[in-house]
Chains A and B, each alone.
Chain A
Amino acid sequence: MSTQIQADRGDRKPPVKASKKRKSPGRELWNPIRNNIRSYAMFIALIGIFLFFGIRTNGLFLSPRNISDLVNQTGYVAVLAMGMTLILIIRHIDLSVGYVAGFLGAVAAILLRDGWPVYSVIPVVLLLGMAIGLYQGFLVAKVGVPAFVTTLAGMFMFRGLLSLITAGSGTIIVRNEAFKAVSNGFIPDIPNSSGIHLLTMIIGALLAVLMVTSQFRSRKTAISYQFEVSSSTLFILKNLILSIAILGVAFVLAKYKGIPWTILIVSVVLFLYYYLLNKTRLGRYIYGIGGNAEAAELSGVNVQNVTLFCFASVSLMAALGGILYTSRLASAAPQAGLGFEMDAIASSYIGGVSVSGGVGKVTNTIIGSLVIMSLTNGMNLMGIDISYQYIVKGIIFILAVAFDVKTKKQA
């Protein structure tokens, strides 16, 4: 409690509310949970899903091998969903990401088949993605065609392009080992005889330390600005749980083959988007446009250019998703990309992006994509028919959004 008191000793008086709250420790724990019920609900749902599948599959779902698989499977949806999150924050939508991913994945496979080296295939495909995004963004931002229509047309076109370039060959097999490793490989280990992946454990431990110190640092700054912060008990509890979670995941991965490259890629993308949204001017503008585009425009924000950026970014992510997916399956199929946009949009909304725009976090979108992909993975393990899988995902999706809308109305 010492920090809290110190904060209160500042020059300015703290709001009356704060002192009232401190009277009951029970309420102090409950209040922040109630206020953030939306993000806690998501974690609770994820844990619930893990436990449910863990029990129904006799532990198979929670086995190190399956968790490692799950992470690799989630990769492409996670990057698509992060791109989509920006689009949804500014109150647009992109329906084309699935077939853009499918098409560009096939382009990558063809280039590799034709003997292009990996290090040039990947940048070329990513650039193609960006170009597609600029084209769609131009139509939405500058011409004023609604995003729904623009990207629906994109869905048609890229689906057609995908079947066109795979028409002769059917499914294109990728034989390039380096490319396959992107979504199937693991980081190398340092030599040791422990039987588990030591480097993974070290990275896990470092990550936990890094997270805790950065949490402490930002709490300290918040206090120095005299912002209201959660109590130290709650803060320590939260950090403890997070550290255990990180170390737990690291341990499970280490028992199998270590950290997949996919995690590394997703982490880099997550960091970039997180930084963009929270630390840069562009990030502010994105939230501003979502909150009130007219006010943002009058505040000097160039709404058209920011919209253009968001579309370029989501298609870039579609390209990356296409690479991850093609690498994962080591092949590009004519029907690849089917329904990706549904998973990406659902992940964002389950991750707490507001349906009325202006609100959303990429970190939570990752959790949302884990929810969606553990449902897929778990139901696959249980041998549930794909038709039922869609129905179940639809139900979870609409429940999450309805809950979101409802809790917001009460607030």
Chain B
Amino acid sequence: MSDYLLEMENITKEFPGVKALDQVNIQVKPGEIHCLVGENGAGKSTLMKVLSGVYPYGTYDGTIFLDGRKRQFRSIADSEAAGIAIIYQELALIPELSVYENIYFGHEIMKGRKVDWEQTIVQAVKMLKKVRLDVNPSARVRDLSVGKQQLIEIAKALSKNVRLLVLDEPTAALNEDDSRNLLNLLRQLKKQGITSILISHKLKEIQSVADTVTILRDGRTICTLEAAAGQISEQEMIRNMVGREIKNIFPERKRKSIGDVCLEVKNWTVFDPASRREILHHVNFHVRKGEIVGLAGLMGAGRTELALSIFGNTPGYKRTSGVMLLNGKPVHFKHPRDALKAGMAYVTEDRKRNGLILIQDVKYNITLSNLDKLIRGITINQSEEVRTARDYQESLRIKTPSLLQATNHLSGGNQQKVSVAKCLFVEPDILILDEPTRGIDVGAKTEIHTIMNDLVEQGMSIIMISSELPEVLGMSDRIYIMADGVITGELKAEEATEQRVMALSTMGEEEAIK
């Protein structure tokens, strides 16, 4: 018999063009809480998808051992049958159904051909006791808080006789009390012999709960730290999470001329009715003319939400406090159109989802945000339009066979350039770039960075949201770091290091407020 409950050996998973996992190893002892730590894109989620059978056996290289036996999971059903349950950040509950229906959804207790509801309720109550949740089992899940819903997910996992519980950033959406409660529950379950793998960005909570920590970086296992050996400290974890050699050199800016404050956001608090929680708390920041301001942080820190909320409250957010000053004057944008008119443009994080109209051509996309400029009478002036599109095609070096090419046929880098061109055509004073180089190749990255430098040299101000630390450090004049919907710190380019930024990114909300 092996000493480990779970061993994943030399797991390699490739996607077209990217190696997401490269010979990753992880060993989980029975009855421990094992934390998986790493930056965005380090490969944590991919690894868990391999484990759960979302990426079925055969689509990856390497071996999975459970109880020392080789396993080949071809679907989630396979891994569940083996006693593995994964709880994702987006909960998989059905909001309109009751608590007990949800707990036994998909593996109903049957009496002959009918569902045995009496027994279901009796068993559900037992499961709720196990997770120490005191709710009416007949309550509708949608009426419960996110923290309680999470516990119901765990109850559901327990009802399937789970042995290995995987939690993907379970505390990201929870407040401090709920988080503490959840971590206590994990300790409790550990005593009952249930092993957990916990993915988290919050190093404090990892430190408090972990027996073992495995750190991933760029799809590789970097190291394994043991609490028993006294190795788990924040500094130790951060050192191993970052510490990558800087591969690409960032283009130098020829001259820096940073002017007056042009955008100032004060005491900005935003509530999201959809998730019924406050997503930004008393955010303060400012941007100067000709400056690149980096907005660093990990996924879910609230950076995109901050950008969207200042760019016209698109997803229906409610601002509960705060003012925004543009060149000293208070402004209030009700729609992205207002923001565009006032000289603010936003290049979205996900160009395919909400950046480009993919079925439309290059010319169409470049001109969409400022057609007013091309209108003669009521008609769009075609030759002006072509000239405009061609100008941007040349100046940003967009590689496309034709301006009439549908944008879904372009490479990621060229799509990104079209997104940037679209925003530049608005002639903004302030350009917000959300993950400007995500998913594009190194050459295109450098080109985007050069374009950014050119723009600030011409007096534009750029807010760059980026999860890539080297990019944040290499490009920014000043860096704000966000975590949990608050700004946890501000660093000048000279004083910023990967360690300092990472330390601020992994703070909890309460620490930050202190």
Q: A15 touching B402 by the CB < 8 A rule?
A: yes
CB closest chain-B residue, reference A15: B401
Looking at A18, A291, A300, the one whose CB has the most chain B CB atoms below 10 A away is A300
Residue of A nearest to B403 (CB): A227
Q: How far is the CA of A221 from the CA of B387 in the complex (A)?
A: 13
Interface string of A133-157 (1 = CB under 8 A from B): 0000000000000000000000000
Most buried by B among A280, A281, A298, A358: A298
B371 on the A face (CB < 8 A): yes
Which of B335, B358, B380, B401 interacts with A17 by CB under 8 Å? B401
User: Could you say which residues of chain A place their CB within 8 Å of the CB of B358?
Assistant: 291-292
Rounded to whole angstroms, the CA-CA distance of A281 and B370 in the bound complex is 10
Which residues of B are found within 8 Å of A291, using beta-carbon distances?
357-360
User: Which A residues touch B402, using CB under 8 A?
Assistant: 15, 227-228
Q: Are B356 and A281 in contact (CB under 8 A)?
A: no
Once the chains are docked, how many angstroms separate the CA of A227 from the CA of B314?
36
Q: Give the chain A neighbours of B335 by CB distance below 8 A.
A: 300, 302
A119 at the interface (CB under 8 A from B): no
B357: which of A18, A227, A228, A288 is its contact (CB, 8 Å)?
A288
Q: Looking at the assembled complex, report how far the CB atom of B310 sits from the nearest CB atom of chain A, in whole angstroms.
A: 13
The contact of B383 among A225, A294, A298, A299, by CB within 8 Å, is: A225
In the assembled complex, A131 has its CB within 8 A of some CB on chain B: no
Contact of A295 among B356, B370, B386 (CB under 8 A): B356
Bin the interface of chain A by size: 20 to 34
Contact of A300 among B337, B354, B359, B380 (CB under 8 A): B337
User: For the complex, what is the distance from the CA of A297 to the CA of B359, rounded to whole Å?
Assistant: 16
Asked if A279 and B337 make an inter-chain contact with CB atoms under 8 angstroms apart, the answer reads no
Whether, in the assembled complex, A284 has its beta carbon less than 8 Å from a beta carbon of chain B, the answer is yes
Q: B364 touching A284 by the CB < 8 A rule? A: yes
A-contact bits for B379-393, CB 8 A (1 contact / 0 none): 110110010000000
Give the residues in chain A near B346, CB-CB below 8 Å: 298
Closest residue of chain A to B419 (Cβ to Cβ) is A295
For window 189-230 of A, CB contacts with B under 8 Å fall at 221, 225, 227-228
- Whole-angstrom distance between the Cβ of B268 and the nearest chain A Cβ: 19
- Expressed in whole angstroms, the Cα–Cα distance for A288 and B365 within the complex equals 9
Contacts of B341 in A (CB 8 A): 300
Verify B364–A281 contact, CB threshold 8 A. Answer: no
Which residues 186-211 of B have a CB within 8 angstroms of A?
A: none
Asked whether A292 lies within 8 Å of B369 as measured between CB atoms, the reply is: no
A281 contacts B371, C-beta separation under 8 Å = yes
Query: What residues on A are CB-neighbors of B404 within 8 Å?
Result: 227-228
User: Does B355 lie within 8 Å of A295, measured CB to CB?
Assistant: yes
The answer to whether B314 and A298 touch across the interface, beta carbons within 8 angstroms, is yes
The reply to whether A300 and B336 form a contact with Cβ atoms under 8 Å apart is yes
A281-B336 contact, Cβ under 8 Å, with A295-B356, A298-B346, A298-B354 = no
Task: Report how far A18 CA is from B402 CA in the complex, Å.
Answer: 11
Residues of B within 8 A of A287 (CB): 357, 360, 364
A359 on the B face (CB < 8 A): yes
The answer to whether B382 touches A299 (Cβ under 8 A) is no
Q: How far is the CB of B308 from chain A (nearest CB, A)?
A: 8
How many Å from the CB of A277 to the closest CB on chain B?
11
Judge if A296 is at the interface, Cβ distance under 8 Å: yes
Provide the A291-322 mask, 1 if CB < 8 A to any CB of B, else 0. Answer: 11011111111100000000000000000000
B212: Cβ under 8 A from any A Cβ: no
Cα separation A280 to B377 with both chains bound (whole Å)? 10
Contacts of A298 in B (CB 8 A): 311, 314, 336, 346, 348, 354-355
Complex Cα gap A297–B314 (Å): 8
- Which residues on A sit within 8 Å (CB–CB) of B368? 284, 288, 296, 299, 301
Cβ A296 vs Cβ B357 within 8 A: yes
Within 8 A of A (CB), among B222-240: none
Contacts of A17 in B (CB 8 A): 401
Q: How far is B314's CA from A292's CA once the two chains are assembled, in angstroms?
A: 14
Contact of A292 among B357, B386, B422 (CB under 8 A): B357
Chain A residues with CB under 8 Å of B337's CB are 300-302
Whether A280 contacts B336 by the Cβ 8 Å rule is no
A169 CB to nearest B CB, Å: 44
- By a CB distance below 8 angstroms, the chain B residues around A228 are 401-402, 404
Q: Which residues of A contact B379 (CB under 8 A)?
A: 279-280
**In the complex, how many angstroms separate the beta carbon of B395 from the nearest chain A beta carbon?**
14
B380 touches A281 (CB 8 A): yes
- Shortest distance in angstroms between B323's beta carbon and chain A's nearest beta carbon? 23
Nearest Cβ in chain B — how far from A219, in angstroms?
Answer: 13
Specify which of A221, A299, A302, A358 is in contact with B369 (CB 8 Å cutoff). Answer: A299
Residue of B nearest to A18 (CB): B401
Bound Cα distance A404, B311 (Å)? 38
Cα of A284 to Cα of B370 in the assembled complex, Å: 11
Q: Which residues of A contact B355 (CB under 8 A)?
A: 295, 298
Contact yes or no, B380 A299, CB < 8 A = no
Whether B353 lies near A294 (C-beta < 8 A) is yes
* Bound-complex Cα distance A280 to B379 (A): 5
A13 to chain B, nearest CB (A): 11
A298 to B356, CA, bound (A): 10
Please name the 10 residue pairs, one residue from A and one from B, whose CB atoms are nearest each other, closest first: A15-B401, A291-B357, A300-B337, A294-B354, A281-B371, A300-B340, A299-B369, A279-B379, A225-B386, A299-B368
Q: Which residues of A contact B (CB under 8 A)?
A: 15, 17-18, 221, 225, 227-228, 279-281, 284, 287-288, 291-292, 294-302, 358-359
Can you report 6 A-B residue pairs in the complex whose CB atoms are below 8 A from each other? A225-B383, A281-B380, A288-B364, A294-B354, A298-B314, A298-B348
Question: Beyond A227-B402, A287-B357, A288-B368: 18 further Cβ-contacts under 8 Å?
Answer: A227-B403, A228-B401, A228-B404, A281-B372, A281-B375, A291-B357, A292-B356, A294-B353, A295-B348, A295-B354, A295-B356, A296-B357, A298-B311, A298-B346, A299-B422, A300-B340, A301-B368, A359-B359
